[in-house]
Amino acid sequence: MPMPQSDKIWFNGKFVNWDDAKIHVLSHVVHYGSSVFEGLRCYHTAQGPACFRLRDHVNRLYDSTKIYRMEIPFSQVELEDAILETIRVNNLQACYIRPVVFRGFGELAVNPMPCPVEVVIAVWEWGKYLGPEALEKGVSVRFASWNRLAPNTMPSLAKVGANYMNAQLIKMEAIADGYAEGIALDTQGYVSEGSGENIFMVKNGQIYTPSTGSSILPGITRHSALTLARAMGYSVTTRPIPRESLYIADEVFFTGSAAEITPITAIDQIEIGSGSRGKITQQLQEAFFAIVEGRTEDKYEWLTYV
């Protein structure tokens, strides 16, 4: 199915038509995976469209470029404004936002420094990431045979295009076997994350999620879920999680900008808890959607109105 298109793409500071947003085939990024990116959602609210945690996503984009010695030729405020302007220009009430920074066309050799750093912002209407019923019914997943990135190889705190070659292996394997998603372990054998989501488990009323020591992307939705859970009075622990503790958990769920908060109801064909969406998962979903849809006080200042 072709993806939904919008009118304009922000390309190095100018708006171009969707079909004209093109790069040279010898751009560094095409050959060596040299891109960093973000993904966030803009939600429809009664007070108009609102971006969820815009500043935090743009901060993480800059962190990713710092790790890879890339200089973005725009300030953070300029990029935040550009994101809001891209939504306005395309006249969207709700959308997914994809800012991407990459090494463009210059010299073709591993050293990226001679290549220009280019910046693109695209927006489009994107439905539910793991299927239309996933938020309510949950998804069935498998453990991946691939590990997540070893810490001294590809830095997982950077959201980099090249990291998603590993994610693609995890995702394709899961889909080939009829699952919605795969969960990878880190190179120590502890639970890491999904191909595009962080993971949480609930056991005896307590919430656990892998720490940044388990080769995860430090998810902004993960941080939001941790914040909401603590405010509800739950104990939340970040620590190494053995694979088998997910099988015997009461609830397991994914978090991510695209996946939002998605229950996991089976892993490797083993039913998790009751085999349906868990109580705490549902409470967190309700608190999350009340904020992003502007139905309750935005007490953490997570929304930026377009």
- Measured from each CB, the residue nearest to ligand PPE is 39
Judged by CB under 6 A, the number of residues near ligand PPE is 16
Q: Smallest gap, in angstroms, from Cβ of residue 146 to ligand PPE?
A: 13
Nearer to ligand PPE, 115 or 159 (CB): 159
Contact between 258 and ligand PPE per CB under 6 A = yes
Q: Smallest gap, in angstroms, from Cβ of residue 155 to ligand PPE?
A: 12
Q: Smallest gap, in angstroms, from Cβ of residue 193 to ligand PPE?
A: 5
Catalytic residue among 8, 128, 137, 159: 159
Is 66 in the active site?
A: no
Q: Residues 9, 122, 217, 261: which binds ligand PPE (CB under 6 A)? A: 217
SS3 for the chain is CCCCCCCEEEECCEEEEHHHCCCCCCCHHHHHCCEEECCEEEECCCCCCEEECHHHHHHHHHHHHHHCCCCCCCCHHHHHHHHHHHHHHCCCCCEEEEEEEEECCCCCCCCCCCCCEEEEEEEECCCCCCCCCHHHHCEEEEEEEEECCCCCCCCCCCCECCHHHHHHHHHHHHHHCCCCEEEEECCCCEEEEECCCEEEEEECCEEEECCHHHCCCCCHHHHHHHHHHHHCCCCEEECCCEHHHHHCCCEEEEEECCCEEEEEEEECCEECCCCCCCHHHHHHHHHHHHHHCCCCCCCCCCEEEC
Contact between 215 and ligand PPE per CB under 6 A = no
Contact between 197 and ligand PPE per CB under 6 A = yes
Contact between 99 and ligand PPE per CB under 6 A = no
Contact between 219 and ligand PPE per CB under 6 A = yes
Stretch that binds ligand PPE, among 24-32, 100-108, 255-263, 278-286 (CB under 6 A): 255-263
Contact between 255 and ligand PPE per CB under 6 A = yes
Which residues here bind ligand PPE, judged by CB under 6 A? Answer: 39, 167, 193, 196-198, 217, 219-222, 255-259
Catalytically annotated residues: 159
